[in-house]
Amino acid sequence: MIQEIKEEYAIVLDFLPNGYPFDSRPMHMKTPIAQAIGKEHFILLELVPKKGQFLQPYQEVYMGSGKRDHIHHIIGKIQIDRLTQTAIMELEVVVKSIVEKTQKRFVDFFNNAGPINTRRHQLELLPGIGKKHMWEILEQRKEKLFESFEDIKNRVKLMPNPESTIIKRIIAELNEEDRYRLFVGT
């Protein structure tokens, strides 16, 4: 049985205190909506805040199974094309912030990534990384594991910025640009 991936915390991308503008129901029937992205698996979510809660973009909210302060319930996952313009504009900023704060997790990816099949390696799924960079990363990590994005940049010649590469890959996965998932849960 496949266990469903759940997010404990999310970062608010946009808050619509009067619900969606295209919702044709009378005002008293509309519910406030927050569009958010999960901190761990980058899952895009639609959340309903508790009554009287006014959420701000970039606000971190708990939505796990314990006592929630701000969130009443989770409507569910949403596709990137359902995000508001504001949420789309904030998406890359929030993803960058999460990647910066959890750098070790992504550096560990460079240290542990393996082959997908006999022809392709996980590292090659990162934008700007071809066979040449992949082999150099593998050689460098054999000598000594990478410690930071800066360490990767310094030890791998002409390496695209590892942090931006990770951010671009996460955005590409959110856009469902290919079938492989390295960072975004489903």
Q: Tell me if 133 is assigned to some domain.
A: yes
Cβ proximity of 70 and 50 under 8 Å: yes
Token pair in block for residue 55: 């959420």
The CATH number that applies at residue 145 is 1.10.150.280
Q: Which domain covers residue 160, as residue numbers?
A: 102-174
Q: How many domains is the chain partitioned into structurally?
A: 2
Rounded mean pLDDT, 137-156: 96
pTM value > 0.85: yes
**In terms of Cα–Cα distance, which of 33, 35, 44, 34 is closest to 5?**
44
**In terms of Cα–Cα distance, which of 143, 95, 134 is closest to 116?**
134
3-state class (DSSP) for residue 140: helix
Please list the helix, strand and coil fractions of the chain in percent, rounded to the nearest 5, in that order: 40, 15, 45
CA dist 80 and 83 (Å) reads 5
The CATH number that applies at residue 20 is 2.40.50.140
In terms of domains, do 30 and 62 share one?
yes
In terms of domains, do 121 and 154 share one?
yes
pLDDT digits 0-9 by tens, 62-118: 998 889 999 999 999 999 999 999 999 999 999 999 999 999 999 999 999 999 999
Q: Tell me if 91 is assigned to some domain.
A: no
Q: Tell me if 1 is assigned to some domain.
A: no
